[in-house]
Amino acid sequence: MERFPVKVERFPVKSTGALTALTFIEFTLKYEGFKNTHINMSKNKRLKSADQNLATQSNKLIEATYRMSVPAKRVMLMLLGQIHPAQKDISKKIRIEALDYSKKTGIDPSQAYKDIQNGCMELMKTIITTRKSEDKTTEHCVVVSWMKYHDSEGWLEATFSTWITQYIHCLARIGYTTITIDEALRFKRFYTIRLYELLMQFKKTQERHIKIQSLRQIFQIDNTTYIRFADFRKWVLEPSVKEINEKTKWDLIWEPIKTGRKITSISFVFENT
């Protein structure tokens, strides 16, 4: 077997009193005829446990296009609550319990067992569509790639798909939004959850203007449904605003914005009560 000479370079270690703090270690392995390989051990810092009442997503995922059932969306948020925004490795199995789901949603435990199982299975099939304007591309992926349900124990474990990971971890350098899971899980309408996520993007300014066409696209409402603004207002907008006002700490008002004689956008203003 051919052997390669190895050179280990040592770096100074900073001392503080009687204790020695290892601030940085880097081993450089120099093989004859090979490019230098660097291993930076500072990447493996221990993170605090994720706050399971907070779900953090990149803004690309917040504004992605998809449609799913309310149970599937609830399961998605609970899975996200297990991930720390700065976490690097999210390949491990994540556990969701039916009793926890029942407690957060107020649903009977027997129904909760069905909801988490069916909801997670739906996440393996629902297509999430994201668009990148910078390079004019469109991506499609699913949320969950694998799941196992423990029938007699009422809990499941799942793993995120490879392609969704870019939107749910290592988010420090890109735009992201954190929402309160306990608030979002109270909603009984998919449109309400999605509107709540979109508003929380602007939690600091507490005001958001959004085009109706953009809302329709994000909610995945096709061009043959709720064509008139009166119908969109009756079946999508007003019920969602009402539910947010009734079930959260936010006081939300809205008004239509016209371009010429046509209503083209919605202005939302909200405050913490």
Give the model's pLDDT for residue 46. 58
d(CA 18, CA 232): 69
pLDDT one digit per residue (tens) for the chain, 273 residues: 444 444 444 444 444 444 444 333 333 333 333 333 333 333 435 556 677 899 999 999 999 999 999 999 999 999 999 988 788 888 899 999 999 999 999 999 999 999 999 999 999 999 999 988 888 899 999 999 999 999 889 999 999 999 999 999 888 778 899 999 999 999 999 999 999 999 999 999 999 999 999 999 999 999 999 999 999 999 999 999 999 999 999 999 999 999 999 999 999 999 998
* Alpha carbons within 13 A on the beta-carbon side of 244: 29
At residue 13, the 3 state secondary structure works out as: coil
Say whether domain 49-186 belongs to CATH 3.40.50.2000.
no
Give the model's pLDDT for residue 134. 82
At residue 231, the 3 state secondary structure works out as: helix
Give the model's pLDDT for residue 38. 37
CATH number for the region 190-273 comes to 1.10.10.10
Torsion from C-alpha of 104, 120, 243, 231, nearest 10 degrees = -170
d(CA 124, CA 143): 6
Give the model's pLDDT for residue 152. 86
d(CA 123, CA 146): 10
Give the model's pLDDT for residue 52. 84
Helix (H) or strand (E) holding 147: strand 144-150
The model's pTM: 0.80
Q: Return residue ranges of the chain for CATH 1.10.10.10.
A: 49-186, 190-273
